[in-house]
Amino acid sequence: MLKAKRTATRARPRKTDRHTPEDQVRFIRLGDVIRAQRKGRFTVDQLSERAGVSSGLISQIERGKGNPSFKTMQRLAAALELPIGALFQNGAPPTAGVPSDPDGLNSTSLHGEQQMVVRRDARKKLVFPKESMVWELLTPDLNRTLEMLRAVVPADYDTREVPFVHQGEECVHIIRGKVEVHIGEQVFALDAGDTITYDATEPHWWRNRGGTEAEVISACTPPSF
């Protein structure tokens, strides 16, 4: 009697929520910022209602736990009337006795290499491993009349749930990929090499309309993102 051959099957790798030490430091710092901005203004439940984010998740974020999405942080920042740019970090671990602006986002000096040059490996970042979303601040700090950002946007990602609305004028240049930019009721399909400039006080959002990662450079004046 012939025995049926067993076909060996490989187990599919499981998705994990493992974070690098740098990721964990950033989560802690994000939590510190959210908690500091909330205290004295709102209870966790009040912030939850304003932002449309569960109280449990807010508590986790404030403790540096979990893996918050970019959209969640958008909602919290908007509810706290805090620009997304205020969340950028240099990845240094929090230490006792540090000033309220440990990442130097509001430096008052505009002279010298540290205040004028941003080296590639020293950019302040917002990293969201859950979505493979990365934002980098290309200007040294927010105490300027200009803010420049680099964003890596995963395939098919969009921000329509929480459109951006902020002061100033914004210019976006597509480095690679295909990005659809929605400004009010207008829709613009952009390819690598294309640039768009618009009034940032109008609700606007992006969609990566390609099947691959997209990379964009954004400039905003005054810094208000």
Same fold, 20-86 and 138-225: no
| Residues in CB range of 3: below 8 A, 6 or more apart | none
More confident residue, 216 or 222: 216
Report the C-alpha gap between 3 and 148 in whole angstroms.
66
What DSSP state is assigned to residue 49? H
- What is the pLDDT averaged over residues 186-190? 98
pLDDT band with cut points at 50, 70 and 90 for residue 46: very high
Q: What is the rounded distance in angstroms from the CA atom of residue 145 to the CA atom of residue 89?
A: 20
> What's the pLDDT at 110?
59
Within 13 Å, how many C-alpha atoms sit on residue 110's CB side? Answer: 6
Top CATH class of 20-86 equals mainly alpha
**3-class DSSP state for residue 98?**
coil
Q: How confident is the model at residue 65 (pLDDT cuts 50, 70, 90)?
A: confident
Q: For residue range 121-176, list pLDDT tens digits in order.
A: 999 988 888 888 899 999 998 888 999 999 999 999 998 988 999 999 999 999 99
For the domain spanning 138-225, the CATH number is 2.60.120.10
In terms of Cβ atoms closer than 10 Å to its own Cβ (0-12, 13-18, 19+), residue 79 is: buried
CA pair distance 135, 32, nearest whole angstrom: 19
Radius of gyration of the CA atoms of the chain, in A: 20
What was the pLDDT predicted at 115?
A: 85
The pLDDT assigned to 27 comes to 85
pTM of the predicted protein model: 0.73
Element (H, E) at 174: strand 169-176
pLDDT at 86: 80
What does the mean pLDDT of the chain come to? Answer: 83
- Which token pair is 64? 């540096």
Confidence of residue 36 (pLDDT cuts 50, 70, 90): very high
Model confidence at 97: pLDDT above 70 = no
In this predicted structure, what is the pLDDT of residue 16? 42
Distance of CA 163 to the CA centre of its chain: 13
CA–CA dist 194, 173 (Å, integer) = 6
Is residue 186 within 8 A of residue 204, CB to CB? The reply is: no
Mean pLDDT value across residues 107-113? 64
Measured CA to CA in angstroms, residue 106 lies from 16, 149, 157, 217 at distances of 36, 16, 31, 22
SS3 call for 55? helix
pLDDT of residue 13: 39
Give the pLDDT score at 96: 31
Tell me whether residue 27 is exposed, middle or buried, using C-beta atoms within 10 angstroms of its C-beta: 0 to 12, 13 to 18, 19 or more: buried
Query: Residue range 1-22: average pLDDT?
Result: 49
State yes or no: pLDDT of 53 exceeds 90. Answer: yes
In the chain, domain spans: 20-86, 138-225
Say what the pLDDT of residue 66 is: 72
Distances (CA, A) of 137 to 133, 149, 221: 14, 5, 14
